[in-house]
Amino acid sequence: MKYVTTRDLRNRPGFVREVAREDDLVLTANGQPFAILVAVEEGELEETARAIRQAKAQQAVSRLRRQAARRGLDKLSPRAVDAEIRAARVASRACSPRRVQNGHMARKHGQAAHRAAREGAARGDGAPQATEPGCGAEPHARSKRSRS
């Protein structure tokens, strides 16, 4: 793989095109790599793009698995995984923008709601019980409007 700067790409596009036919290129800005340029044959664009997307997806899954292993989450039982999924869904619903009250940000509120939901899932009720200390927000409550 060869490295090419954004300046080379801007000032010498013919040179970059020629080098790209021979090898894949790493595009850099301020010395930091940020993209890979890959030569594509006419008529193979979609196939090449699909292969790149698939490789990126596999890389992301591998990264998630390594993170899970570092945190010890790869040893969770299927029942514990289901409880985590339920808790995350409850927290997500509890902190949706519609449900966040008094102008508090969902992101700030979400961690506490997720933690509370996970504790609720462990108790079996799955309902958020508290907010993060120091948040200053009231626990989420059902909307006063009736939902049908």
79 pLDDT higher than 70 = yes
Tell me how far apart the alpha carbons of residues 119 and 59 are, in angstroms, rounded to a whole number.
32
In the structure encoding, which two tokens stand for residue 13, read together? 């596009």
Tell me how far apart the alpha carbons of residues 100 and 111 are, in angstroms, rounded to a whole number.
13
- Shared-domain flag, residues 65 and 6: yes
8 pLDDT higher than 70 = yes
How much is the pLDDT for 94?
72
- Residue 146: inside a domain: no
- Shared-domain flag, residues 65 and 123: no
Q: With contact defined as beta carbons under 8 Å apart, do 76 and 84 qualify?
A: yes
**Does the model's pTM come out above 0.75?**
no
- Quick: pLDDT tens for 123-148: 555 444 444 443 334 444 444 444 44
What lies within 8 Å, CB to CB, of 104 at 6+ separation is 135, 136, 137
Tell me how far apart the alpha carbons of residues 128 and 134 are, in angstroms, rounded to a whole number.
17
Domain membership of residue 126 as a residue range:
76-140
Domains contained in the chain, number: 2
